[in-house]
């Protein structure tokens, strides 16, 4: 059953236009439920830009049905599949609003979300909110985003070098950011990049209200609750080493931004990180991490080791990590062979 309003508010209004950029790909299972919470937002001046990325299910038909009933919803169809990062880029370029919010196809929104975000943005470049997790079938979980990570407000880009706390479905930003955030690089999450650019150019603000029910299921692009089944190759995968290389790629990409607030620190971090990946021991990198630990690891709420133990581990370079990974892999394989004989 679809929710309806007797007098849709999205007609003439003196309130600033807000655009919702909705990206869709084979989303028929949950799309109607999400669309109902978008078209019935209580904010009075809204446009919804929906871009379908070559869906092969009923998503396009659903979008066209809603477009006929809600004229402030505009539907665009890609001729080739862009992938979700580049699809969000396209959706943002089609937005006309003074403010822009992003929407996934499978969540549900609080009907006052847009109004609350607009009320809180003030002089900030970007605001974002807490989210409540829900199961695949829609049952709310007694767990919020703020339960598992720290959510940041301020103007320190160092917070975003190793982690991200700004989910795409929660962010709301000023149109003036568009010139600096686009184009997106398909190798990196668009929400992480938007947050990073915003915090370099001004301030971001966390709104301590859960305004989205964030659905967790195997097809979500960011599997924050590890719902997706993990397939690992025995003895041939070292997740720590993969993360090192992924982190280096990200901070090097951050260094390409021409308006970095603290380029000297970032360049030094990149230099020491690269050196760490080509050495056995890296005291310089460990010292840097130790001095700036509280801001670099602000988002991480739960840690497996103390700060001191963590910083100590940063002394070891990639060559040492590879040596120990191969060492334990070899003896682990020997144990397995013996057990099978």
Contact criterion met (CB below 8 Å) for 103 and 172: no
What's the pLDDT at 136?
Answer: 92
The per-residue pLDDT for range 134-172, each reduced to its tens digit, is 999 999 999 999 999 999 999 999 999 999 999 999 999
The answer as to whether 3 is a domain residue is no
The answer as to whether 325 is a domain residue is yes
* Whether the predicted pLDDT of 12 surpasses 60: no
Q: How many domains in the chain?
A: 2
What's the pLDDT at 335?
Answer: 46
Mean confidence (pLDDT) of the chain: 89
Same domain flag for 209 and 246 = no
The per-residue pLDDT for range 259-293, each reduced to its tens digit, is 999 999 999 999 999 999 989 999 999 999 999 99
Task: Round to whole Å and give the CA distance between 200 and 197.
Answer: 5
Same domain flag for 147 and 244 = no
Strand partners, 212: 109, 131
What's the pLDDT at 16?
Answer: 98
Same domain flag for 211 and 244 = no
Task: Round to whole Å and give the CA distance between 276 and 285.
Answer: 7
The answer as to whether 200 is a domain residue is yes
Same domain flag for 168 and 247 = no
What's the pLDDT at 234?
Answer: 40
Domain around 62: 18-215
Same domain flag for 73 and 199 = yes
Task: Round to whole Å and give the CA distance between 226 and 234.
Answer: 19
- Of all residues in the chain, the percent with pLDDT exceeding 90 is 77
Same domain flag for 49 and 164 = yes
Task: Round to whole Å and give the CA distance between 38 and 23.
Answer: 13
Q: Say which residue, 317 or 106, is predicted with more confidence.
A: 106
Same domain flag for 250 and 207 = no
Strand partners, 108: 213
What's the pLDDT at 325?
Answer: 67
H-helix or E-strand spanning residue 35: helix 28-39
The per-residue pLDDT for range 203-254, each reduced to its tens digit, is 999 999 999 999 997 655 555 555 444 444 443 446 777 888 999 999 999 9
Same domain flag for 268 and 186 = no
Residue in 8, 12, 10 with CA at minimum distance from that of residue 20: 10
Here the CATH number for the domain that contains residue 179 is: 3.90.550.10
Q: Peptide bond preceding 183: is omega within 30 degrees of 0, i.e. cis?
A: yes
Same domain flag for 28 and 120 = yes
The answer as to whether 82 is a domain residue is yes
The answer as to whether 125 is a domain residue is yes
The answer as to whether 12 is a domain residue is no
Same domain flag for 206 and 247 = no
Same domain flag for 121 and 207 = yes
Q: Say which residue, 269 or 313, is predicted with more confidence.
A: 269
Same domain flag for 24 and 150 = yes
The answer as to whether 198 is a domain residue is yes
Q: Which of 215, 230, 255 is the last residue of a domain?
A: 215
The answer as to whether 7 is a domain residue is no
H-helix or E-strand spanning residue 48: strand 46-52
């Amino acid at each position: 059953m679809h929710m309806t309003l007797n007098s849709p508010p999205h007609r003439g209004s003196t309130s600033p236009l807000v655009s919702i950029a909705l990206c869709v790909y084979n989303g028929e299972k949950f799309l109607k439920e999400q669309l109902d919470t978008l078209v019935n937002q209580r904010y009075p001046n809204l446009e919804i830009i929906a871009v379908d990325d070559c869906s092969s299910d009923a998503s396009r038909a659903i979008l066209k049905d809603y477009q006929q009933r809600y004229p402030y919803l505009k539907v665009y169809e890609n001729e080739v599949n862009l992938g979700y990062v580049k699809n969000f880029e396209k959706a943002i370029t089609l937005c006309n609003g003074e403010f822009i919010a992003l929407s996934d196809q499978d969540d549900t929104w609080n009907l006052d979300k847009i109004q609350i975000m607009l009320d809180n943005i003030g002089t900030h470049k970007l605001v974002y909110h807490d989210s409540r997790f829900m199961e695949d079938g829609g049952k709310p979980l007694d767990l919020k985003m703020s339960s598992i990570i720290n959510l940041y407000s301020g103007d320190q880009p160092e917070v975003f070098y190793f982690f991200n706390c700004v989910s795409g479905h929660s962010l709301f930003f000023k149109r003036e950011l568009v010139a600096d955030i686009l184009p997106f690089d398909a190798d990196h999450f668009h929400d992480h990049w938007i947050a990073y650019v915003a915090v370099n150019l001004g301030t971001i603000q966390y709104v301590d209200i859960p305004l989205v029910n964030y659905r967790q299921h195997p097809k979500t692009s960011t599997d924050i609750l590890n719902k997706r089944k993990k397939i690992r190759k025995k003895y041939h995968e070292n997740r720590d080493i993969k993360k090192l290389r992924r982190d280096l790629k990200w901070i090097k990409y951050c260094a390409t931004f021409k308006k970095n607030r603290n380029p000297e620190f970032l360049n030094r971090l990149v230099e020491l990180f690269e050196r760490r990946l080509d050495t056995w021991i890296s005291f310089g990198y460990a010292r840097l991490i130790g001095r700036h630990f509280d801001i670099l690891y602000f988002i991480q709420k739960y840690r497996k080791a103390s700060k001191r133990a963590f910083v100590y581990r940063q002394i070891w370079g990639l060559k040492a990590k590879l040596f120990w990974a191969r060492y334990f892999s070899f003896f682990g394989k020997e144990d397995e062979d013996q057990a099978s004989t």
